[in-house]
Structure 1
Amino acid sequence: MAGFHDIIGHDDIIRHLKNAIETGKVSHSYIFTGEPGSGKKLLAGTFAAALQCESGESEPCMTCDSCKKVIGKNHPDIITVTHEKPGSISIDEVRDQVVRDVDIKPYCSPYKIYIIPDAEMMTVQAQNAILKTIEEPPEYAVIMLLTSNIDSLLPTIRSRCVRLDLKVVDDSLVKEYLMEHLQVPDYQAEIDASYAQGSIGKAKEAATSQEFADMTANALKILKYANSMEVYELTEAIKTLAADKNNINDYLDIFQFWFRDVLMFKATREIDNLVFKQEINFIREQASERSYENIEKILEALEKTKVRLRANVNLELALELLFLTIREK
C-alpha cells in the first residue's frame, strides 16, 4: 500500500483530500474520474486508509492496527463493491453491499467507507438505489465512485458528489518513476512512458510485461528495415503482425512514435526529445532519406489504419496499404 507521498502526480487532488482530513470536512460522496490506469484505485484506497488511520494524521501511518488491516486487505470498515457479471453492477449487488449494509455502524473505525470501482457499470436501477444513500447518508458513511466514463452516471448522482478529475501524468514523471521504482533502463522507460500516455498503471504494465518488450523489439525490426526489405520479407512481417491481432493497436502506437521521432529529428537535429534515442543511427538515416511530405503521409496513413481497423476492415489488407505508404520514398 502507498501513502500519498508515494503517488506520482495528482498534486491538486492529494492536497484537496489531505485538507479534508485535516479540517474534518470530509464529504459523504466522491467521484474519482479519469482514464483507465490513471490511479483512481490508488488515490481512493490511500484516502480510505488515511481516514481510518489511528494516528489522526493526513497520511496513513502504515503501522497502526487499522493500517495493518488495510495492508492485509481485510479492513471491516472499508468495503470494495464487487460484481458477478463482467460488464454490469446490478441493483441487488448495490443493495446487498451498500444500501442495507450502510445502516450497520462501523466496527472499529470512525468511518464506514464504500469504494465502487467501474461505477459506470452500475445499471440505472442500481444507480437509483444508491442515490438515496448518497442523498441521506449516515454521519459515518463515505462513498467513493471510481469511473472512466462519468457521463454514464446519473446527473442526480454527479451533482451530489465531490468530483475529482485525474489528469494524465507528465511523461517525464512516468519515466522517472519507472527508472527509480522498477529499475527500467533509460531508453526502455522512455518507450514505456510514451506508450502509457500519462497512465502510471499502463506504464507499469508495459515495463513489467515480456510481451510488450517482445512487441517493441519486433516492431523496431520492421521499422528499421522496412525500406530495404524484400517483398517476401514484408509479406512475412505483415502476416506476423496480423497474427498478433490483439496487440495491433499497440504496434501502430509504436510505429507512430517512430515516425514522429524521424520527423522531429529531421526538423530539429536534436536527440533529447526522441523516444527511440538508442536507435539514433537508423532515425538519422531515415530522416535524411524521407521528405517532410512523405513522413506526414505515413503518420496520416497510421491514423487511417486505426480508423479502418475500428470499422472492421480486413486486417491484412489494412496493413498492406499502410506498408505501401511506408515504402514510398
Structure 2
Amino acid sequence: MAGFADVLGHEQTIAHMKKAIELGKVSHAYIINGEKGSGKKLLAGIFAQTLQCQEKGTEPCMHCQSCLQAQSMNQPDIIRVTHEKPNTISVEDIRGQLNGDIQIKPYSSPYKIYIVDEAEKLSPQAQNALLKTIEEPPAYAVILLLTANTGMLLPTILSRCVVLDLKPVPSEKIKKYLMEELELPDYKADVCTAFAQGNVGKAKRLALSDSFSEMMEHAIHLVKYISEMDVSDLTEDLKKIGTYKIDINDYLDLLMVWYRDVLMFKATQDADLLIFKEELGAIRDKAKNSSYEGLECILKALDKAKIRLNANVNFDMVMELLLLTMKEN
C-alpha cells in the first residue's frame, strides 16, 4: 500500500488527516465523499494504516508489524464492512459487523477502525442503527464512511461526522502520471485526462482499457461521417452503440469532447487547444461546415441524452433522437 506522499492530488484532505493525527484529535466518524475512482478507498486505507502504525508518525512506516498486516489486508483492528446484496447495506450487515463488534477492545492497536465503502447504499434502518454507535462510540473507535453521494445519508449522520470532500485532481498532474508511470503516448494521455475530469482512477482505467480505445474509434468514425449517413447506416451504428450500453456515459463524453473541439477550433483556429489533436483535418472540416447554433444544439442534446438515460428512458429511443439531432446539425 502507498503512503500519503504517493497519492496524486487531494492535498487538502491529506493535510486534514495528518494534522488530526499529529495533534491527537482524530474524530470518531468521517465521511470521505467523492465519485467512483476518486481515491476514497486508497485514502481511507492509508489513514487507517497510519493511525495503527507502531512508529506513530503522520505517514505509515511500512515496516512495523501493523503496517505489514495492513498491507496484506490482515490487520485485525482495521475492519472492512461488507455486504452480500449488491445494492443495499442492510441493518443486519451493520449490526453484525460493526455494532456487535465495536464494544470489543482492539486486539493490538490504539484504534479499532471500520471502513464502510459505498455508504450511500446504507438502508434507512442501517443508518439509524449506525447513528446510535456514532453518537456514543468507544474512545478507541474510528468509523470511515466512503460515499459517492452524501445526499443519500441522513442529515443526523452528516451532522455527526467530519465530511472530507475529494476535489478533482489537476489535469496536468494526471497527464504527467499517465505518461511517466503508464508510459502512455502524449495524444492518448491527453484524451484520457480530458475524459477523467480530475478523477485519477478513471484516467487509469481508460488508459489501460482496450474497449475504451475501440469505443473511441467508433465514436470518432460516427462524428466524422454522420452527415453523409442514410437511415440504414444510422440503424447499424445504433446497434453498435448498444454494445457500449454499460459504458454509455464514456461514449457520450467522447462525442461531447469531439464537438467541443470543433466549437473551440471554429472560434479560435488554435489546434493547440484541441483534445483530439490527431483529428485536426476532420475537425477543421466540421468547423467550416457547422454553425455555432448547430454545435450548441448538439452539445445540449448530449446533455439531455445523459439526463434521460439516468432517468431510465428507453435506451434506443434516446440514442436514436440524439443521432438524428447530430445528423441534422
Q: Give me the TM-score of the superposition, normalised by structure 1.
A: 0.93
Cα 1:317/1:85, change in 2 over 3 Å? closer
Name the SS for the 1:110 alignment partner.
Answer: coil
* Residue matched to 1:94: 94
User: For the residues of structure 1 that align with 2:173 and 2:286, how far apart are their CA atoms?
Assistant: 30
1:45 — aligned with what? Answer: 45
Aligned to 1:203: 203
* Mapped partners of 1:282, 1:265: distance in 2: 11
How much has 1:43 moved relative to structure 2? Answer: 0.9
Q: Which amino acid aligns with 1:96?
A: G
Query: Cα RMSD between the aligned structures?
Result: 2.0
Equivalent residue number for residue 161 of structure 1 = 161
User: For residues 39 and 311 of structure 1, do their structure 2 counterparts lie closer, same or farther at Cα, with a shift above 3 Å needed?
Assistant: closer
TM-aligned CA deviation for residue 275 of structure 1 = 1.5
Q: Tell me by how many angstroms 1:134 deviates.
A: 1.4
Shift of 1:203: 1.7
In structure 2, the CA distance between the partners of 1:244 and 1:143, relative to structure 1 (3 Å rule), is: closer
Residue 12 (structure 1) aligns with = 12
Give the distance between the partners of 2:78 and 2:321, measured in 1 at CA. 53
Partner of residue 179, structure 2: 179
1:31 aligned partner, one-letter code: I
- Amino acid of the residue matched to residue 128 of structure 1? N
Q: What is the CA-CA distance between 1:117 and the residue it aligns to?
A: 0.7
- More displaced 10-residue stretch of structure 1: 235-244 or 25-34: 235-244
- Quickly say closer, same or farther: Cα 1:282–1:142, change in 2 above 3 A: same
The AA in structure 1 aligned to 2:65 is: D
> Which blocks of at least 5 consecutive residues in structure 1 are unaligned?
none
What percent of counterpart residues are identical?
56
Amino acid at match of 2:323: F
Q: Report deviation, 1:243.
A: 4.2
Q: What secondary structure, in the 3-state scheme, does the structure 1 residue paired with 2:163 have? A: strand
Tell me by how many angstroms 1:313 deviates. Answer: 4.9
Q: Deviations over 1:255-299 (max 9, x none)?
A: 110000000111112223321112112112211222212211221
Distance in 2 between residues matched to 1:298 and 1:83, nearest whole Å: 42
Residue 310 (structure 1) shift: 4.3
The one-letter code of the counterpart of 2:184 is V
Equivalent residues of 2:244, 2:251 under 8 A apart? no
Bigger Cα displacement from structure 2, 265-274 vs 237-246: 237-246
Aligned twin of 2:224: 224
State the aligned residue count.
329
Instruction: Kindly state the Cα deviation for residue 323 of structure 1 after the two structures are TM-superposed.
Output: 3.0
Counterpart AA for 2:247: N
Q: How far did 1:112 drift? A: 0.9
CA distance change for structure 1 residues 107 and 243 in 2, over 3 Å: closer, same or farther?
closer
1:267 matches 2:256:
no
